[in-house]
Amino acid sequence: MEKFLLLLVFVGESHALFSVAAETKCNVTQTTSPCSSIVGGSAYIKLLENATGYKIHCYKDDLNVFSLKRGQLMVVEEYKNKIEFLVGTGMLKINNLKRTDSGHYIVESYDPNGRRKDIYFNLQVKENIFLILNSVRFAVVVLLTAVLFCCMCSKFNLCGDSGGNQANDENLFKMYQTAQRE
């Protein structure tokens, strides 16, 4: 019985081990397909091969997101602590994605000679189905555990019919304490 209780504790606590933090990588230098990620994840978006010496302005739905000038990254308040730009690799990273990060992005890039190149990409942020499935899985495990416990309680007459059988209550408490110590 102690092993059964330990198993219940393990199953109940193991749901935290299955959370998913997705990292999506998109290369908009080679494709125009949408970049899709999930809520809570991160998107790595390759904008240029190397942005050293470039002047860059990034807009989402015509609103300024960030600018890069002389190697200095300036991020608007809404995107502070969310945006990283790696100049040497031309990689834009957006952290902790929300549904509101979805949209059409335009990046105006000016090379060191002043030539302009516009980069367009669409970011789609979808609900994290893994978190939803994990919650459902956990609820099913709890329900099955309760049913199994009721069956065992009935089979071994641990719960009693009087509704307040002190001896059975003490047995359950002792089993619980023993399981906690092991």
Mean pLDDT per 10-residue interval, the chain, length 182 residues: 46 44 82 81 93 96 93 93 94 94 95 95 83 63 70 65 58 70 64
What is the pLDDT at residue 145? Answer: 75
d(CA 100, CA 143): 35
Residue 66 and residue 57: Cα distance in Å, rounded? 6
Axis-axis angle for helices 2-13, 166-181 (nearest 10): 60
- pLDDT for 29 equals 85
**Domains of the chain, start order:** 2-16+130-181 (no CATH), 21-127 (2.60.40.10)
pTM over 0.85: no
| Intra-chain end-to-end CA distance of the chain, in Å | 12
Q: Are 84 and 66 in contact (CB under 8 A)?
A: no
* Contact in structure between 131 and 19 (CB atoms under 8 Å): yes
